[in-house]
Chains A and B, each alone.
Chain A
Amino acid sequence: MADQPTETNFDVIVVGGGPGGYVTAIRAAQLGMKAACVEREHLGGICLNWGCIPTKALLRTSEVYHLMERADEFGLKVEGVSFDMEKIVKRSRRVARRLSGGVAHLLKKNEVAVFDGHGKLAGKGKLEVSAGGKVIAGLTAKHIILATGARARTLPGLEPDGELIWTYKEAMVPEAMPKSLLVVGSGAIGIEFASFYRTLGAEVSVVEVLPRILPVEDEEISDFAEKAFKAQGMNIMTSATVKGLKKGKDNVTATIEADGKSRDITFDRVILAVGIVGNVEDIGLEGTKVKVEKSHIAVDEWSATDEPGIYAIGDVTGPPWLAHKASHEGIICVEKIAGANDVHPLDTSRIPGCTYCTPQVASVGLTEAAAREQGREVKVGKFPFQGNGKAIALGEPDGLVKTVFDAGTGELLGAHMVGAEVTELIQGYGIAKTLETTEAELMHSVFPHPTLSEMMHEAVLDAYGRVIHF
């Protein structure tokens, strides 16, 4: 056990050291508040240790591997391409460790007191920190912010065992390459693992209960991605459910129901990615007015719970469950507490979402269908990667950029992309949305040539019938 801080009275205590929690604590300290952060496991939380970051390290490996397999296409001679799973995993862990250390440094630099232990509310303005079953500190603060995050959801009959049936955590540190793999759930987490394992050669099947994969994305983007995955040899079953899993000695037999028919298929391993549940247990919510709805804490637009002085941010609250949403929510929460100027509730329509499969998927704002459901008249623009010089030069001619505008006001309602590097591009549309540009400013913006970003320009032009290169 590391030395614990001796101070026990704070202006703000953040429970949880993930991307929501530690960012919140730093911002609170910047605002002149005495801040503490209580973390039971690793600073950086799931995101940094078991989520966003280590999976990006894995996916980078599969991307490079994929390019090496295509070496001949680029005029390169590479023979005997193969991989070492142990080394792949080691690199991923090293990346996570390095960044977790960085977070500790940032907290120290901002004079945030860090308690290693489990935080639990213990009466008004009080928080108990325990480690190894013993209470190690009793803290007080006027404001306590719960940023305890979430964990993988399990369904009856679909319980992980950590050996044959994995959650994201085991899927991230495989000892060997499974020959065949079933991924249950086709949200961002499921699809990223499916993509990683498929690229490295596993036979991958994906089961999605909804009619299409990546169900929160624009339908056209989902369809495009599904075709691309199928072309890579992925087996995708939509409108299908896994009824049960039967464990064998070194394999699992899944009962999959689709089109009213039931089939048994045997896989080496199974990854469960059927959503998340909030970590609301054992944090002392009993006896408070804090409301928990479907495993997530109910909060108002300023992240305040029904209990005065208790706030909640990030995955333990409502969707979207994204690290950058958690961070931003936390910043708004403490700025509001500090009475800062220009604080406004988070507008979720301006939060981009990224999925790092191959091809990548990224989006911000309303899908075309959602915009129409709101009764808006829309203008839709599209531009395919085939029409972009840089995409061709990169050898990445498959992809699509799509924009959705309000026909009346020219407001950019949403942008949706699939293809190479789109996760790095979406940010442009994010800024456009936040600055409230209309189509006119986007059309007047000069996009550098040759870049993939030119497609973002063309997709805007296309919405107004002015596309140039297609």
Chain B
Amino acid sequence: MTIQILMPALSPTMTEGNIAKWHKKEGDEVASGDLLAEIETDKATMELEAVDDGVLGKIIAAEGSENIAVNTPIAVMLEEGEDASAAEAAAPSPAPAAQPEPAPMPQAAPAPEPAAAPQPAPAAPKSNGARVFASPLAKRIAADAGIDIAAISGSGPHGRVVKRDVDAAIAGGVAAPAAAPSAASPAPAAPAPAQLPVVAGGYTEVPHNNMRKVIARRLQESKQTVPHFYVTMECEIDKLLAMRKDLNARAEATGEDYKISVNDFIIRAAAFAMKKVPDVNASWTDEAMLLYNDIDISVAVAIDGGLITPIVRNADQKGLAVISNEMKDLAARAREGKLSPGEFQGGGFTISNLGMYGVKEFAAIINPPQSCILAIGAGEQRPVVRDGALTTATMMSVTLSTDHRVVDGALGAEWLQAFKVLIEDPLAMLL
């Protein structure tokens, strides 16, 4: 068995590192504890020691390689008796993850920082057949509900998926509005058939279905032709959570049929923000800007094999309970494949929420011809400074991706600000 040496996370904040120096050459014998390499992080240069005995079979990331994502293979160790060909086979040939971010966006406008999103491809890492840590009960409930447990983010010790996570996923509309376009990580640029991966363990070929082809085509087109830029803000949602609790308690008390989710608030707030800043509700054409009359919000919903974006139409004219029930119905029918085309085609703005997976923040790919997509992270307790003192609040990071041809930096920021005001003071949504 060859052993892959991965770029280690040498500090809690480290996401990528550079190879400052290799202390061993290919073919060198290595004993556990030997100094293998020096890794340069954003903070310091640290030593990488060998954990196992063996021979350094292949160096994948050469000295001087930069911005190698954590957990990307950087070398292959051979155990006794193995020859170098095993190392070749084990090395992922083009080491795709090791490549630095695609060039920064075409420099334009005095836009706010492009947020250089390290694009962590949110939903992908779990579903690669690696063991999912989940309680037996959680696994069983998920299986009974037909949910892929790998798609659920765990809140138990060390990220273990427990019953409450599965219950929440079911309550929040199964794997819920999720896996936004961004989940479909940038498809290989050119369909070069010669680039089939060479992996020791072999692989299974899964032919694309239509949805997969559409996702690949549209998102590739978007990322290649739409000049994206990103603005991120942190919103405090304690008031919103309190109001949600209050409203849902009311439903229980009066027997009214609704249970409002945080996402329902987000839909309403986005709709209201669009009313305030209507210029974002637009599409680019070569001849003219198309400004939409209606505020129709698409919401990304993960479904078996992909995702779909059903639309809450005229969301600015609907109350929370109506939005909530409509969304539940749309999500349920989306999962059953029973949406009519009119229910998911069109829309002027998309919301993609990966909060329920514990994603802190991410940047989504615009769903053309729309010009904006809002990526929602998890609401979580974070330290905040208030009146000069450190305290905690429930914060949610949101990132707006916009088509710079339609929405300039200031406009995007203005919209996001309007959204933040509504989310942080949800009473304002009643006006």
The answer, yes or no, to whether B314 is at the interface (CB within 8 Å) is no
The answer, yes or no, to whether A436 is at the interface (CB within 8 Å) is yes
Tell whether, in the assembled complex, residue A408 and residue B135 are in contact, meaning their CB atoms are under 8 Å apart.
no
Tell whether, in the assembled complex, residue A409 and residue B135 are in contact, meaning their CB atoms are under 8 Å apart.
no
Contacts of B164 in A (CB 8 A): 344
Tell whether, in the assembled complex, residue B140 and residue A438 are in contact, meaning their CB atoms are under 8 Å apart.
yes
Contacts of A410 in B (CB 8 A): 137, 140
Task: Out of A339, A344, A411, name the residue touching B137 (CB < 8 Å).
Answer: A411
Which residues of A57-103 have CB atoms within 8 Å of chain B's CB atoms? none
Q: Which range holds the interface residue count of chain B?
A: 10 to 19
Q: Which of B135, B136, B138, B144 has the most CB of A within 10 A?
A: B136
- Mark interface residues in A323-345 (1 if CB within 8 Å of B CB, else 0): 00000000000001001001010
Task: Out of B136, B144, B156, B162, name the residue touching A408 (CB < 8 Å).
Answer: B144
Please give me the residue from chain A that is nearest to B139 by CB atom: A438
Inter-chain CB contacts under 8 Å: number: 36
CA–CA, A279 and B46, complex, Å: 55
CA–CA, A105 and B141, complex, Å: 47
Q: Which of A408, A409, A410, A440 has the most CB of B within 10 A?
A: A409
The answer, yes or no, to whether B32 is at the interface (CB within 8 Å) is no
Contacts of A437 in B (CB 8 A): 135-137
Tell whether A438 pairs with B136 under 8 Å between CB atoms, given A342-B156, A408-B144.
Answer: yes
The answer, yes or no, to whether B163 is at the interface (CB within 8 Å) is yes
Task: Out of B141, B156, B383, B392, name the residue touching A409 (CB < 8 Å).
Answer: B141
CA–CA, A344 and B156, complex, Å: 9
The answer, yes or no, to whether B381 is at the interface (CB within 8 Å) is yes
CA–CA, A437 and B160, complex, Å: 13
The answer, yes or no, to whether B71 is at the interface (CB within 8 Å) is no
Which residues of A407-424 have CB atoms within 8 Å of chain B's CB atoms? 408-411
Tell whether, in the assembled complex, residue A441 and residue B383 are in contact, meaning their CB atoms are under 8 Å apart.
no
Please give me the residue from chain A that is nearest to B157 by CB atom: A342
Contacts of B392 in A (CB 8 A): 339
Please give me the residue from chain A that is nearest to B161 by CB atom: A436
Q: Which of A339, A344, A436 has the most CB of B within 10 A?
A: A436
**B360 CB, min distance to chain A CBs, angstroms:** 13
Contacts of B144 in A (CB 8 A): 408-409
Tell whether, in the assembled complex, residue A339 and residue B156 are in contact, meaning their CB atoms are under 8 Å apart.
no
Tell whether, in the assembled complex, residue B162 and residue A339 are in contact, meaning their CB atoms are under 8 Å apart.
no
The answer, yes or no, to whether A393 is at the interface (CB within 8 Å) is no
Tell whether, in the assembled complex, residue A438 and residue B156 are in contact, meaning their CB atoms are under 8 Å apart.
no
Please give me the residue from chain A that is nearest to B159 by CB atom: A342
The answer, yes or no, to whether B45 is at the interface (CB within 8 Å) is no
The answer, yes or no, to whether A2 is at the interface (CB within 8 Å) is no
Please name 26 pairs of A and B residues whose Cβ atoms are closer than 8 Å in the assembled complex, sorted by A.
Answer: A339-B381, A339-B382, A339-B383, A339-B392, A342-B156, A342-B157, A342-B158, A344-B155, A408-B144, A409-B137, A409-B140, A409-B141, A409-B144, A410-B140, A411-B163, A435-B136, A436-B135, A436-B137, A436-B138, A437-B135, A437-B136, A437-B137, A438-B136, A438-B137, A438-B140, A440-B136
Besides A342-B156, A437-B136, 7 other CB < 8 A contacts? A336-B381, A339-B381, A344-B155, A409-B141, A411-B163, A436-B138, A440-B136
Closest 4 CB pairs of A and B: A436-B135, A436-B137, A438-B136, A441-B136
